[in-house]
Amino acid sequence: MATQKDQVYECRDCGNVVKIVEPGDGLLYCCDSPMMIKQEKKKTSADFMQSFGGDFKGRTLQ
């Protein structure tokens, strides 16, 4: 499996995180097991409000 630039991998055992800068072939290993691609969580209106310090005047994003 080939890695792609800007992919983020995370170790399930220790939580080590790696961001790919230069793509290549092969798998990434940490703690004797393959690292998993970290899925980016979907942004919600709560995340939007938190980025502005919780001050939000107006309607929430749907």
- 39-55 pLDDT, tens digit per residue, is 876 766 666 666 556 55
**What is the Cα–Cα distance from 35 to 9, expressed in whole angstroms?**
6
- Among 13, 21, 19, residue whose Cα is nearest residue 38: 19
Q: For the whole model, what pTM was predicted?
A: 0.60
25 phi and psi angles, rounded to 5 deg: -95, 155
Which residues, including other chains, have CB under 8 Å from residue 23's CB and lie 6 or more apart? 2, 3, 4, 5
* Strands ordered across the beta sheet of 8-10: 17-19, 8-10, 36-37
Q: How confident is the model at residue 37 (pLDDT cuts 50, 70, 90)?
A: very high
**Domains of the chain, start order:** 1-38 (2.20.28.100)
